[in-house]
């Protein structure tokens, strides 16, 4: 018998996800701060936010002064949630239902900055997505992404405590790249995601025409440290900026 966590999809959990973020999610707050901090010269830029979900990063980039922000996501329910936020608090963001693997309706060399916050792990074909991002970026444009840290959020990873009571992460299966789902009924990753090693992500960048510029493993902010203390000493995210 299949449980909800065995069949969850991003469309199916879009309403739940939107409520989670609106209630105040430490990981998502840190992710959005990281996306904006790593983004060069947002002011006056044309920005595409890939796998934008309900638009948390798109809104942060618009508030940071982008000239235009386009948010794209494959799940229509996520785009509906993003459009509701736009209707309630207009920032001029345009949201599209769009597959990151092709970005089919978006023209070549149309954006100064492309961001992908907590999305690359959810996209099955990494090479196709990076190739599409490269195509829509202007020459010299930047790609900023934030990942659930593949070293510490690998399949089956558990938060444990040392004998002295210090929290840590127990990793038992890092090298096995595959699609997996968190078995937690309220886990964000119950919708499933593609585990890849850090080497796979980093090697994919030059293979798709990017030059890596900057890497960050951001420490927890106050909210995340309170919600999940283990991420004060271990990075929850791996973030990077690459240039076309």
Q: How many residues does the chain have?
A: 244
Shortest distance (Å) from residue 28 CB to ligand SAM: 5
Residues 29-68 that bind ligand SAM (CB under 6 A): 31, 51-53, 56-57
- Cβ-closest residue to ligand SAM? 53
Q: Quote the CA–CA distance of 144 and 117 in Å, as a whole number.
A: 8
Shortest distance (Å) from residue 16 CB to ligand SAM: 12
Q: In the complex with ligand SAM, which residue's Cβ is closer, 167 or 181?
A: 181
Nearest to 196 by CA among 234, 235, 155: 155
Under rule CB under 6 A, residue 122 binds ligand SAM: yes
DSSP 232: G
Q: In the complex with ligand SAM, which residue's Cβ is closer, 5 or 117?
A: 117
What tokens were used for 157? Answer: 């990873």
What are the residues facing 95 on neighbouring strands? 71
Q: In the complex with ligand SAM, which residue's Cβ is closer, 10 or 201?
A: 10
Residue 113, φ and ψ in degrees, nearest 5 = -145, 130
Q: In the complex with ligand SAM, which residue's Cβ is closer, 12 or 167?
A: 12
Under rule CB under 6 A, residue 78 binds ligand SAM: yes
Q: In the complex with ligand SAM, which residue's Cβ is closer, 98 or 112?
A: 98
Under rule CB under 6 A, residue 143 binds ligand SAM: no
Shortest distance (Å) from residue 224 CB to ligand SAM: 14
β-strands 111-117, 46-50 pairing: parallel
Among 5, 8, 18, 28, the residue binding ligand SAM under the rule CB under 6 A is: 28
Q: Can you tell me whether residue 144 is helix, strand or coil? A: strand
Under rule CB under 6 A, residue 74 binds ligand SAM: yes
* DSSP assignments along 38-79, one per residue: HSTT-TT-EEEEET-TTSHHHHHHHHTT-SEEEEEES-HHHH
Residue 48, classified by CB atoms within 10 Å of its CB into exposed (0-12), middle (13-18) or buried (19+), is buried
Q: In the complex with ligand SAM, which residue's Cβ is closer, 172 or 186?
A: 186
Binding mask 86-115 for ligand SAM (x = CB under 6 A): -------------xxx--------------
Contact 123, 101 (CB under 8 A): yes
| Residues making contact with ligand SAM (CB under 6 A) | 10, 28, 31, 51-53, 56-57, 73-75, 78, 99-101, 117-119, 122-123
């Amino acid at each position: 018998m299949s449980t909800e966590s065995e069949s969850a999809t991003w469309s199916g959990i879009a309403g739940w996800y939107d409520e989670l973020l609106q209630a105040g999610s430490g990981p998502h707050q840190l992710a959005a701060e990281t996306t904006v901090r790593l983004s060069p010269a947002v002011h006056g830029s044309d920005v595409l936010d890939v796998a934008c979900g309900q638009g948390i990063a798109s809104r942060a980039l618009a508030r940071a002064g982008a000239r235009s922000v386009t948010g794209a996501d494959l799940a229509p329910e996520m785009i509906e949630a993003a459009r509701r936020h736009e209707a309630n608090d207009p920032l001029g963001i345009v949201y599209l239902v769009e597959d990151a693997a092709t970005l089919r309706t978006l023209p070549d060399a149309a954006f100064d900055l492309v961001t992908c916050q907590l999305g690359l792990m959810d996209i099955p074909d990494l090479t196709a997505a990076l190739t599409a991002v490269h195509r829509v970026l202007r020459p010299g444009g930047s790609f900023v992404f934030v990942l659930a840290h593949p070293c510490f959020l690998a399949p089956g990873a558990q938060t444990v405590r040392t004998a002295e009571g210090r929290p840590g992460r127990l990793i038992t299966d890092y090298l096995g790249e595959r699609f997996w789902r968190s078995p937690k009924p309220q886990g964000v990753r119950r919708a499933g995601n593609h585990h890849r090693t850090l080497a796979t992500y980093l090697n994919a960048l030059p293979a798709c025409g990017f030059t890596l510029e900057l890497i960050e493993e951001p420490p927890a902010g106050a909210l995340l440290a309170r919600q999940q203390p283990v991420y004060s000493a271990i990075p929850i995210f791996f973030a990077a900026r690459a240039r076309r």
